[in-house]
Each structure stands twice: as C-alpha cells, then as structure tokens.
Structure 1
Amino acid sequence: MEHDSTLYVGLDVHKESITAAYAIDMGEVELLGKIGTTTTDIDRLCKRLQSKARRVCIVYEAGPCGYDLYRRLVDEGFECMVCAPSLIPKKPGERVKTDRRDAVKLTRALRAGDLSAVYVPGVEDEAFRDLARAWVSAKEDLKQARQRLKSFLLCHGVRYDGKADGGPAHRHWVHGYSFGSEWQQMAFEEHRRTIEDRQAQCMRLETPLRDAVVSWRFYPAVLGLQAMRGVQLTTAVGMLAEVGELARFEHPRQLIAWLGVTPSEHSSGDKRRQGSITKTGNSYARKLLIEAAWSYRHPARLSLDIRRRHEGIPKAIVDRAWEAQLRLCRRYRKLSLRGKNVNIAAVAVARELAGFIWDISRLAMALAVPRDARYA
C-alpha cells in the first residue's frame, strides 16, 4: 500500500454493471474490470481501492442511477465527485465509445482537474425534491388531460361559450354535455374521468407538500421569495427544490449561469459575438424563472395578493422585493421601447430576476423569516 500516493478512479456506472479504471499518481491508467452493482460488489470494490492507496479520489457521471453510489463511497471515507456529462472534455473526431474507454477517460480527466462537479443534495432535500417533482408531474398531466378534452370537443365542433379554464361553470357544462353516439360518449366520459383522476392526484400531493414545506430547512427562503412579484408557492418551492443550497453560489452570476440564461458567446480578437441563451443547467428551474419574469411586463404595483404574502416578512426583504419590481418593470419597458422581441425582453428580465432571487433567498435564510408567516 502506497501511503503517500493518490489513487484516481473513474467509474462508468450503469444499472447492472460498473466498469472501473484507476491510476496511481501520474502513472499509467489501468483497468480494474467490470463489477456488479449489489452491496456486496460495492464493498469488495471499496476494499480493493483501500488497499492501493491511502487517498482515493473517485468520479462517475451524473445519470439515472442517482446519488446512492456517491453516498456509499463517501461513507467509506473516499473523496467522490459526480461530474456533469455535458462538460466532460472530448477529443474532436473521437468516434469509438465503450464502457472501458469512458472509465479511462474519466480517470485521466479527474487527475487533470478537467471535470465539473454537480451539486449533490442531502437525503432530506432530495426527498422533498422528489415530492415536489411528483406534484409538478401531476399538474402537467392534468394540463395535458384538459388539452386532450378540448381537442376532442373542438374536433367534433363542440364549443363552450365562456372561458374553458376548468372553473366551476366550465366543469358543470362538461358534466352536463352528452354526445348522440354511444361510442363518442364513451370516449368523452374517459377524457372527463382522466381529468378528475388527475385533479384528485394533485390534491393528494399538494396537501402533504404544503404540510412538509413548513418543516423544510429552506422554508424561510420559500417565504422570502414569495414577497416578490410573480413568485408564489409553486415557483418558490420548485426553484429551491431544484437549485438546492443557494449559498454554494458565491455570486449571483454563478446562479444565472447555472440556470442557463446567460447569452452564448463566440468571440475572437476584436470581434464579440453573442447568441441565444446557453440553456444549461436545470430546465424546470429555468422555466419557472422565465414564467415569473413575464409578470414584470405590467407596471409596478402591490396587489392584494402580494400584500397578503408580505405579512410577517421582515421589512428588509419586502423593501428588496419592491426594489426588484421597480427595476425589472423598468427594464422590460426599456427593452420594449427599443423594439426588442417580447420573448427576448422576458429572458433579459429573468436573468436579472435570478440575481434578486439569489439575494433575497440568502437574506431570508440569514434573517430566519418566522415560520408563522403566510404563504400563498
């Protein structure tokens, strides 16, 4: 055992197998072979690695297998990194891809320090994120079910005179309508029952989510973010569940880059070319951010709903939220007057909104917003 050496290990992880490669210090990269993914296989791998060097650094790509392997390796005392697959260096013209080559490539990149780590949430944060994602998925399913019913009715020339928003009047009309054909009526009933099932599912998930968010460690940030315009419970919980610990971003520019709302750039010499946003990072968090940004196209004001969400919130956060509203509404108006496309203006506002979210969430956690404050 080389006590003063560092062992670099690259793992190509799949559902049923793990291919490992390693290198000791600056030595040649060697293959360790393919193993299974059971607890016994992982324990045997850990013992083999511990016998080779005192300091062991391990890396594998983020993927569908999650972070269970990461937590096992950290518990064994190893230094482990879960790297971003899209940021792994790749040689131009490289056309051969195998598990062995991937493991070797990861080992070399880890030793060179060329990999970017992804954020690994804690067990409790990941559990809450799973609950939030299930809620979001149920709401998306409900939206699609309603759209399928609208398409079915439109296809048969059936139109509702009012606003088909799923409200009480619209639901009463849907329940009272019937088709002349037995088969069409059967299809119509299935569409309607699907909507009712999805609504029941949303209610089953929303109730425990609202109860659980009160005991979540980021609950003060949830309350603080809702002091802002366009940020209600869905947006605040979704953003924090996906982003996680905002304190890991030392500057708001890092959060903005992580959300993928920074302009892409291809500059050389005296020429500076900027393109569309990078769209890196978490797509759902970026979607929530841009949806919230659309509310700033209207003049700045404090609605009754926002005033209600301000109850119990420290004045410093309320003042910061009002400052954000004034700035972002003015920003959207200036871009519109310059003839910018409305979508480009909304993304530009979203970029600045991310900075205010970073600031207000950190301020809320520092001030420890009272847990008895209201949330929408």
Structure 2
Amino acid sequence: MGHFNEAFIGIDTAKLRNAVAVAEAGRTGEVRYLGEIDTSEAAMRKLVASLSAKHRKLTFCYEAGPTGYGLQRLIESLGHTCLVVAPSLIPKKAGDRVKTNRRDAEGLARLLRAGELTAVWIPDSRHEAMRELTRARDAARQDLTRKRQQVSSMLLRLGRHYPGIKTWNARHRCWLANLKLDHREQRFALEEMLQAERQASERIGRLEQAIREAFADWSLAPIVPALMAMRGIDLVAAVTILAEIGDLSRFESPRQLMAYLGLVPSERSTGESVRRGGITKAGNGRARRVLVEAAWSYRHPPRVGYEKQAHVSAAPRAAREIAWKAQVRLTKRFRTLSRKGKKSTVVATAIARELAAFIWAIFREMSNTRTAAPA
C-alpha cells in the first residue's frame, strides 16, 4: 500500500455505530472492511487521520437518511470530499437478497469508486434549520387533521350529524359546544378531543408565525415574494417549496425539476412496446404534495382575488408576468383535461407538473436579476 494511493470509503451510518469499508483505486483495487466505529466526532476524526496517513486522496460517501448531514460537514471540514448519496438511485442486483452493514459499506465503496452513485444537494445549516421549521409545521397540520377526524368519527358512531356544509368554522364549533350527549362520559371524551384540536390549531399558528419571522434573513428570502405571486401559493407554501427543493439553479431545465419531484410518468418500454404508468413519485414528497395542493386552485377561471392582490403587487414585475401566464395556461389546461374525461386527481397532478416549470422560470428570472443588479 503506497502513500500516494487514492481510496474510496463507504460508510453505512446508524444511530450508534457506523460500518466502514475502503476500496483501493483502480479496477482491481482491494476492498477491505474496516469494521464498525462509534458515531462520535472523536472516533470519526481518528478514522480520517488514520486513512490520511496511508492515502493521498480520500473520498467518502454515505446514504442520505435520518442521520442528517453532520457527518458530511465534519469530513468536509477535515479537507476531504464526502458525498451524501440518494438511496433510491443506488444500483442493486435483482438476485441479491442478503443485506448486512458490512455488505452495505463495501457496496457503497465499490460503487463510489465506479462513479455509479448520485449525490444529493447538501443544504447549509441555516437552510436545514428552515427545513426543520417547515417540516414541524407540516407535522402539526397532519396532527390537526387526525384530531378532527377523531371528533368526526366519534360523532358518526353516536349518530350525530352536522346539518351544515362546511365544518370547523365558527358555526360548526358553536354546534359542537351546544351538542347534547346521553352520557357524561361521552361529553367528557368529546371535550377532551375538542381541547386537543384547539391546541393543535394553536400550534400551527405559532409555527406559521415563526416561519414569517424567520424567512426574512434567509438566503432564499428574495424568491419567496416572487413565488407568492403564483396562484395557490402563500407564504408557507413558498417557503416549504424552497426549503425542500433548495437551490433550483442546479436544475438545467424544468424537466429535470419535474423528474426530481417525481411528477413525470413512469415508463417500461422495450422494442416496439411502450408502456407508461403513473408518476414516479421519486424525490421530495413534501414539495410534490404542496404543488399538487396548489394545482387544485387552477380549476377556477383566471383571476386575482382581493386577498391575493397585495401579494401579487409585492412581487417583481417579471414574476407577476410569469404568474399570470401560468394562470391563463393552467386554468385552460385544467378545463381541457377535465373535458377529456380525465380523473380530477390525474388532472391536478398534470397541472402540478407544469406548475413546477413556472416556478423554475421564476427562480431563474429572479436569479438573473439578482446577478445583474451589482453591475
């Protein structure tokens, strides 16, 4: 083993211990399993120092997952390259049915050496903090939905039906407060559920207020008002999209962004046979869900509502023009696909795919404006 060799290190990360394997450079280079080490910073520094004494160049990799990006930042700070790879894009043999920490680490090292791994975009610590805030708000929203469903399920079991159309407004809450139940135990259970629902709703309000206060000094803050000019996208949705996707400039075309979001059709074609299925659902599911929710607003004719006017006026002129172009096209597209008999859910997904392209265009326009401003 020479000091000037290049080595590729695969790390199978876990909560307490990381499995490490090293692949020597070259097509026939040796692949060695180094064992498991603690996940502490001191243990990783010791490992990197030991490998640096034997190899001129080191390249590390591990799968993106719940362990986050701390390990990548640590290795980069020590002067070495570390890739965080997309687990869904790691090549796997169809007949390989054995999975262990050692095999995973060795496989990562081999694939890294072969250049077969796809790295994910690494956010900085500030961007990651904004992402955590938006995800906390999304979790609170899901919790609120569950709390409301519990109340509805209980009333359905008791045969109590709300006569109105819209629920969880002031009238519906008044009806719930005045509801007479046969047993004291039932009333106690309902009150506890309603209290939990109110607490979940207040939690969402606090998180949304935190998002409004935090995004002002964010690196992507100038893009947020521009995205809010789009129909169906408010401040929370705009911040969520940017926090989840990150820097859109890394996508050379709208099609790449669509594919990243998993909004393109899956395909299984061979020879003269062409088979296309549902969307791939690859990439970031949270951003995809926000776009699909926004797409439903395009089933209405193009217009700018009273509450939306302030957001549109605050956006740059170029963003306003793109947003209006999107309204005209996507509302027409929604009606056209609906008249052809497409399911409404399929239509909304198709609109979300095109909506991603308009968001990409706004980001590019705003980035070009910001670049040209100093000149």
- CA displacement at 1:3 relative to structure 2: 5.1
Alpha-carbon distance between aligned partners in 1 of 2:323 and 2:17, rounded to the nearest angstrom: 50
Q: 1:247 to 1:3 in 2, by over 3 A?
A: farther
Deviations 1:1-39 (A, max 9, x none): 845431111111111111111122121101112111112
Deviations 1:250-272 (A, max 9, x none): 11111100100101111122332
Alignment of 1:219-230 (within 5 A): 219-230=221-232
Helix, strand or coil at the partner of 1:300: coil
Q: Is 1:216 matched up with 2:218?
A: yes
Alpha-carbon distance between aligned partners in 2 of 1:161 and 1:2, rounded to the nearest angstrom: 81
Match for 1:134 among 123, 136, 155? Answer: 136
AA at the equivalent of 1:94? D
Query: Where does residue 372 of structure 1 map in the other structure?
Result: none
Alignment of 1:254-333 (within 5 A): 254-333=256-335
Assess if the C-alpha contact under 8 Å between 2:3 and 2:53 holds in 1: no
Assess if the C-alpha contact under 8 Å between 2:208 and 2:236 holds in 1: no
Query: Where does residue 233 of structure 1 map in the other structure?
Result: 235
Match for 1:77 among 76, 79, 83? Answer: 79
Assess if the C-alpha contact under 8 Å between 2:225 and 2:314 holds in 1: no
Alpha-carbon distance between aligned partners in 2 of 1:294 and 1:220, rounded to the nearest angstrom: 26
Assess if the C-alpha contact under 8 Å between 2:262 and 2:280 holds in 1: yes
Match for 1:65 among 53, 62, 67? Answer: 67
Helix, strand or coil at the partner of 1:260: coil
Q: Is 1:179 matched up with 2:147?
A: no
- CA displacement at 1:338 relative to structure 2: 2.3
Alpha-carbon distance between aligned partners in 1 of 2:88 and 2:150, rounded to the nearest angstrom: 35
Helix, strand or coil at the partner of 1:20: strand
Assess if the C-alpha contact under 8 Å between 1:228 and 1:306 holds in 2: no
Assess if the C-alpha contact under 8 Å between 1:84 and 1:118 holds in 2: yes
- CA displacement at 1:128 relative to structure 2: 0.8
Assess if the C-alpha contact under 8 Å between 1:220 and 1:365 holds in 2: no
- CA displacement at 1:306 relative to structure 2: 2.6
AA at the equivalent of 1:300? P
Q: After the TM superposition, which of the residue ranges 256-265 and 303-312 deviates more from structure 2?
A: 303-312
Assess if the C-alpha contact under 8 Å between 1:218 and 1:365 holds in 2: no
Query: Where does residue 371 of structure 1 map in the other structure?
Result: none
- CA displacement at 1:162 relative to structure 2: 2.4
Deviations 1:82-116 (A, max 9, x none): 11112111112111111111111101100111111
Q: Is 1:144 matched up with 2:146?
A: yes
Helix, strand or coil at the partner of 1:35: strand
Query: Where does residue 361 of structure 2 map in the other structure?
Result: 359
Helix, strand or coil at the partner of 1:261: coil
With structure 2 as the length reference, what TM-score do the two structures score? 0.94
Query: Where does residue 11 of structure 2 map in the other structure?
Result: 11
AA at the equivalent of 1:13? T
Helix, strand or coil at the partner of 2:62: strand
Helix, strand or coil at the partner of 1:285: helix
Query: Where does residue 114 of structure 1 map in the other structure?
Result: 116
Match for 1:52 among 42, 54, 76? Answer: 54
Deviations 1:131-153 (A, max 9, x none): 11111111211121111111111
- CA displacement at 1:165 relative to structure 2: 2.6
Alpha-carbon distance between aligned partners in 1 of 2:267 and 2:294, rounded to the nearest angstrom: 25
Query: Where does residue 374 of structure 1 map in the other structure?
Result: none
Deviations 1:162-183 (A, max 9, x none): 2443222222232233423111
For structure 1, which runs of at least 5 residues remain unmatched after alignment? Answer: 369-376
For structure 2, which runs of at least 5 residues remain unmatched after alignment? Answer: 371-375
Q: After the TM superposition, which of the residue ranges 192-201 and 175-184 deviates more from structure 2?
A: 175-184
Q: 1:164 to 1:340 in 2, by over 3 A?
A: closer
Q: Is 1:93 matched up with 2:89?
A: no
Q: Is 1:20 matched up with 2:11?
A: no
Alpha-carbon distance between aligned partners in 1 of 2:287 and 2:340, rounded to the nearest angstrom: 28
AA at the equivalent of 1:22? V
Q: After the TM superposition, which of the residue ranges 133-142 and 267-276 deviates more from structure 2?
A: 267-276
Helix, strand or coil at the partner of 1:18: strand
AA at the equivalent of 2:335? R
User: How many residues get paired?
Assistant: 368
AA at the equivalent of 2:245? V
- CA displacement at 1:317 relative to structure 2: 1.2
Alpha-carbon distance between aligned partners in 2 of 1:347 and 1:266, rounded to the nearest angstrom: 20
Alpha-carbon distance between aligned partners in 2 of 1:352 and 1:188, rounded to the nearest angstrom: 44
Alpha-carbon distance between aligned partners in 1 of 2:191 and 2:40, rounded to the nearest angstrom: 47
Alpha-carbon distance between aligned partners in 2 of 1:278 and 1:140, rounded to the nearest angstrom: 24
Q: 1:193 to 1:153 in 2, by over 3 A?
A: same
Query: Aligned Cα RMSD in Å?
Result: 1.5
Q: 1:133 to 1:345 in 2, by over 3 A?
A: same
Assess if the C-alpha contact under 8 Å between 1:20 and 1:103 holds in 2: yes
